[in-house]
Structures are given as structure tokens and as C-alpha cells.
């Protein structure tokens, strides 16, 4: 039997990411409870079933990003979504850019030194 692609991808979910999703779900449950909203009412406002909301609050990684975004919207935190993968916060890419700049600087320094050496050899 062939597993759906999503299920296979979830098997490779890093533990820290799974823990973050569980915390997000628990935090969303607290937000709902602090607002004194029932599962049924909150699910209706989100346009999802109660079991889906329960899965979200349990940190189930198979819950769709749109459902998560709607939950964040309900607590007025959806504005953060725009920054999650913003290039200016992409540490991995920034570190790569810095490494490339350093390598370019070293290459230019070396080329400059080699050019001076050649110049000195031809004039000396």
C-alpha cells in the first residue's frame, strides 16, 4: 500500500518542529479558552469541524496552513505570517551570502597580491 505524499513528509518532521506545532496548538487552545469560546463555536467561526479544531489544538502537523492562518486571524496574530519566510530573516541564506562575500574578498585580495607580484617581477 502506498502512503500519501503528505504522510511520508510528516514522517521526516524534525522533532523541534513537531514540538513547535504542539506548542502552537496548545497556545491556540489557551487563546480560545481565555475568550470563553467552546470548541463548537470556535470551529464554526473558523469554518472547520470540531475534530479538525481538536487536531489543530493537539499540534497535528497534517492540519492545513490555511486552517492555522484562520486560527491566527481569530486572535489577531495573522499579521506575523508575512514575516515567517521573509528573505531578510532567512539566516541560512544570509550566512551563505556572507560566506560568498568573504570568499570573493579573499579571491580579490589574492588576485591583487598576485598582480603586485607580477608587476614587481616585470619591473624589477
User: DSSP for 75-102?
Assistant: TT-GGGGGGTT-GGG-HHHHHHHHHHHH
Same domain, 43 and 93: no
Classified as helix, coil or strand, 14 is coil
Could you list the pLDDT tens digit for every one of the 124 residues in the chain?
555 566 788 888 999 999 999 999 999 999 999 999 999 999 999 999 999 999 999 999 999 999 999 999 999 999 989 988 888 888 888 888 888 888 888 888 888 877 777 777 777 6
- Counting the structural domains of the chain, the total is 2
Same domain, 43 and 58: yes
Same domain, 55 and 7: yes
pTM score, two decimals? Answer: 0.71
Same domain, 67 and 90: no
Same domain, 32 and 45: yes
Query: Residue 52: which domain range?
Result: 1-84
Amino acid at each position: 500500500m502506498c502512503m500519501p505524499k503528505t504522510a511520508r513528509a510528516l514522517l521526516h518532521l524534525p522533532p523541534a518542529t513537531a514540538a513547535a506545532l504542539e506548542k502552537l496548538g496548545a497556545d491556540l487552545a489557551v487563546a480560545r479558552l481565555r475568550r470563553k469560546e467552546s470548541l463548537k463555536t470556535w470551529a464554526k467561526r473558523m469554518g472547520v469541524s470540531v475534530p479538525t479544531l481538536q487536531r489543530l489544538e493537539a499540534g497535528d502537523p497534517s492540519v492545513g496552513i490555511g486552517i492555522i492562518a484562520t486560527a491566527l486571524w481569530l486572535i489577531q496574530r495573522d499579521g506575523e505570517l508575512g514575516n515567517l519566510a521573509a528573505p531578510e530573516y532567512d539566516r541560512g541564506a544570509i550566512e551563505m551570502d556572507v560566506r560568498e562575500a568573504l570568499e570573493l574578498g579573499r579571491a580579490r585580495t589574492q588576485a591583487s597580491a598576485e598582480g603586485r607580484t607580477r608587476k614587481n617581477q616585470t619591473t624589477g
